[in-house]
Amino acid sequence: MDYGFVLQKTIVNIQKLPESRISEVNDFVDFLLNKIDNQIITEGIQEIASTSKLYNFLNSEPELYSVNDLKVKFK
């Protein structure tokens, strides 16, 4: 479907609504935009965390505990 056509049809339909319903449509659009923004932020944080070398020092840390340190072993 053509984006421009859908946009124009949506605008025409919104103009037919009573003012109180237009406000609801606006609230819903704000909700959708916030959802998109949150997704972009989440993906950005995930990308930074996955490519960061911040915790690389943990790779050279010796293991502090082993299975021999357990008092009780669960199956």
Q: pLDDT tens-digit profile of 11-44?
A: 999 999 999 999 999 999 999 999 999 999 999 9
Residues 14, 25 contacting (CB under 8 angstroms): yes
| pLDDT (mean) for 58-70 | 86
- Is pLDDT larger for residue 42 or for residue 73? 42
Q: 2: helix, coil or strand?
A: coil
| Number of residues in the chain | 75
Let me know if 60 is exposed, middle or buried by CB neighbors in 10 A (0-12, 13-18, 19+): exposed
Model pTM? 0.57
In which band, very low, low, confident or very high, does the pLDDT at 52 lie, cut at 50, 70 and 90? confident
